Structure 1
């Protein structure tokens, strides 16, 4: 009786594993019931901090694809192994049905154990059973099939598996064709909860400078262009009806707030900018929106009226967590709307936290729990060697679309500057590498306490120019000149660009 693994066995197992992942994707899409989802989350949570840092600094957003690819490979390997077990059982028992049953039932149990979803697990199990049956068909303990016939059977099975994988991906993409989550979000509920939001958006946008470039963002970033960074590939799927915020910790019985409770509280529409701690100094992860929500301070005071707790661990449905001093969190905002729309899934629907003046990583999405404590603990990124909970660093940006040649031959330079709650006092521009400086024209200041400003400068070019820009915050402190990497506490340095011939 043959017992050693052959190349054909491994090829069939690989085909079955790929088909299982494709079948699961066809059945569930990129949801929590997709068999890759729990593996992706586990890999994200267990990747050592130094590796995370290298991936962020060298690969940027593409680094996120590495753990997705690894999760896909692991999932395919697990289901392929079960197909291999089924093949061996079929040969050892001389019963094809026993091997197919073992592979199919084992795959279903594995999928259920990984995702907790009973019916969607069939999407992974059925392809494994079918490919095990087709690939092992005709094999017996005293197999006398011609080698060529067995080879053709395996090749047909593998080819069919590949065709299924392609068809499953295309079919699912076609099924989900159209705007995705966050691209066409619903309008906010009718007044009074949305009263004044459109006026507020227009007021913020009206502060934008008049520029030659039509491509540079104004004062409000469209939702579809707002940068987005998450720790995992798959976003939690939480409805407003299901959502609640639980206050726990050293506060006695605690408290739970439902979505209806939250939106019945006093409503505000705040312009707030967010900047990613992992971006380069002139990176593109800086945006502003008008957020609709309610201040968090009254809720904190209601659960801890004596102010006994000094720090708070804030948690999201995606497993992310970050800790703040209570006095910092108390200045925060619980948002359920963005630019006059219901908060999109990718930005934390139904509710997220916004902490004024701090790096974007502190603004927990899909908020689920606030644990009030007296002992400081590291948050998600601190455990990985970052210090992303501090105040954002001052920066003036000069992106490609902010460099425009005017009809009269002059060059317009424009961009955005941001310093958190310190505000922007001025932006200095040098066209000779920092030898001399000129004040840029700034957009009108807004009453909001944590928002960027636009800047503009026009000059007559004379050959190639080494352009340098730096911002000065509201306290009179200039943007640091020294260049630093994003890790561990955010990039710094003057922004330099070569402009002209």
Structure 2
């Protein structure tokens, strides 16, 4: 208990220190970020598969649990060997300092929160453990004194032990730590300039508005994913344990590398450019067959090809290495950023400024590629280079350096479970961004493939909804679907996991008709 209380106090005050002086360097965040960076690819993929968008919360909870277990062990070691607990607490602080100062977005005070956390825990643990030892000794003496064989007068027996005082000190210490951590969270919420800037931002009128959505593009079938994904429901997969807080007033984008004319673009300059609207479906490479790590939004931004044309890439360049403010990198084929697709620097999402978790103030949106090689959030740097000269974050983890979207489909209705017999419907979505979908077919119980009715697509860069009327007979049924692209490719039945370049196979659902 003494060890846990000391470490909770240190960690809580460390979080408060971070909120006040180094918001991106909270001890839990920097340690969690370091764990994300050093974790092997299979571990990250497992976390995404198990927890989905809650993978970061699961990591934080895991860090806290492990930290509490370590703290308990430190307390026990301190009771055996005085001062060893202080040394170990100091070592935890040093580990946090190293993790903080080696981050790409480390500031001048990045070391301070972990130094405060480790130092305060080291200072506190000795006195608390000594109080624990005194309380236990007094309790033991009193227990011996009250045995039936103890014939001493009651006035000569040991006094009431200090256990209550120890519990009070320990609880107070831990509560101060918890209160400090809560105060840090409130302080960050109230003082982040980026959040205030976003709240006050009014997006400029697009110079090129998006074409109207076809009237019949949305089927409005209960259970079918909405054609346009609301911002709050849009999937989030990234490596940022703490969402970067980038003040747009200080944001800039540097374009350099194998170019004749390097340039730097500021926030004011970006908003002054003729911005364009476009609908694009984004998908995560970790998405399993039939998974939900995909969404469609209306984006507002400026075509990257125009900026690259100004920079004038040199002959031989074939890749753009984009970099986030927190050090994340993605490798995007140069030809994809210079053709006629809507590859943009996005500032808006569904008629609102980008949400903080989706890259405010600026992110990349590139149709036709998985996000891990294109959709860099909080982007601040574009380096024109070559695939044989540079590697990106996920490439070093064993993923393919180029990530073209695979032809996929999904069954949304009916879901696995029980449905009622009679007239029903099978419905879902299909996609292959920047190519488009020409047909979706459905097979029930291994029977013949039947063409579903395809809704009009917004564009080749978005998914398309489909449905098929179905009379549901009593019993268990297995439903599969497959898509055919506008180029004539048929979705493969070959089952493949997401690693290294995206999952494949026919989606399948089993239902019981009652």
Give TM-score, length-normalised by structure 2. Answer: 0.77
2:476 maps to 1:456: no
Q: How does 1:200-349 map to 2 (within 5 A)?
A: 200=210, 203-204=212-213, 206-213=215-222, 215-251=223-259, 254-304=262-312, 306-331=314-339, 332-349=343-360
Corresponding position of 2:41: 49
Aligned mates of 1:16, 1:144 — CA distance in 2: 17
Aligned mates of 1:353, 1:372 — CA distance in 2: 15
Aligned mates of 1:12, 1:243 — CA distance in 2: 45
Decide which of 380, 393, 396 is 1:380's aligned counterpart.
393
**CA 1:384–1:305 in 2, change beyond 3 Å: closer, same or farther?**
closer
2:25 maps to 1:33: yes
**CA 1:152–1:268 in 2, change beyond 3 Å: closer, same or farther?**
same
User: How far has the Cα of 1:161 moved from its partner?
Assistant: 3.0
User: How far has the Cα of 1:189 moved from its partner?
Assistant: 2.6
Unaligned runs of 5+ in 1: 1-10, 93-98
User: How far has the Cα of 1:383 moved from its partner?
Assistant: 1.0
Conservation of the 8 A alpha-carbon contact between 1:107 and 1:128:
no
Decide which of 402, 409, 428 is 2:422's aligned counterpart.
409
Aligned mates of 2:504, 2:136 — CA distance in 1: 69
Corresponding position of 1:8: none
Aligned mates of 1:495, 1:152 — CA distance in 2: 61
Partner SS state of residue 357, structure 2:
helix
Conservation of the 8 A alpha-carbon contact between 1:361 and 1:388:
no
Conservation of the 8 A alpha-carbon contact between 1:207 and 1:219:
no
Decide which of 399, 402, 406 is 1:389's aligned counterpart.
402
Deviations 1:240-263 (CA, angstroms, capped at 9, x unpaired): 111111122233672211111122
Corresponding position of 1:466: 478
Corresponding position of 2:152: none
User: How far has the Cα of 1:153 moved from its partner?
Assistant: 4.6
**CA 1:341–1:144 in 2, change beyond 3 Å: closer, same or farther?**
closer
Partner SS state of residue 158, structure 1:
helix
Corresponding position of 2:13: 23
**CA 1:185–1:455 in 2, change beyond 3 Å: closer, same or farther?**
farther
User: How far has the Cα of 1:389 moved from its partner?
Assistant: 3.2
Aligned mates of 1:104, 1:385 — CA distance in 2: 35
Corresponding position of 1:436: 448
Aligned mates of 1:204, 1:73 — CA distance in 2: 48
2:367 maps to 1:353: no
Partner SS state of residue 237, structure 2:
coil
Aligned mates of 1:126, 1:424 — CA distance in 2: 60
Conservation of the 8 A alpha-carbon contact between 1:312 and 1:325:
yes
Aligned mates of 1:292, 1:478 — CA distance in 2: 32
User: How far has the Cα of 1:190 moved from its partner?
Assistant: 5.3
2:366 maps to 1:366: no
Conservation of the 8 A alpha-carbon contact between 1:194 and 1:340:
no
Aligned mates of 1:118, 1:483 — CA distance in 2: 47
Partner SS state of residue 421, structure 1:
coil
User: How far has the Cα of 1:290 moved from its partner?
Assistant: 0.3
Conservation of the 8 A alpha-carbon contact between 1:293 and 1:333:
yes
Conservation of the 8 A alpha-carbon contact between 2:31 and 2:96:
no
Aligned mates of 1:338, 1:282 — CA distance in 2: 25
User: How far has the Cα of 1:356 moved from its partner?
Assistant: 1.5
Give TM-score, length-normalised by structure 1. Answer: 0.79
Corresponding position of 1:135: 128
Corresponding position of 2:2: 12
Partner SS state of residue 460, structure 1:
strand
Unaligned runs of 5+ in 2: 102-108, 140-160
Partner SS state of residue 241, structure 1:
helix
Deviations 1:90-117 (CA, angstroms, capped at 9, x unpaired): 989xxxxxx99x9999999987774725
Corresponding position of 1:156: 168
User: How far has the Cα of 1:56 moved from its partner?
Assistant: 3.8
Aligned mates of 2:72, 2:269 — CA distance in 1: 48
Conservation of the 8 A alpha-carbon contact between 1:313 and 1:322:
yes
Conservation of the 8 A alpha-carbon contact between 1:404 and 1:412:
no
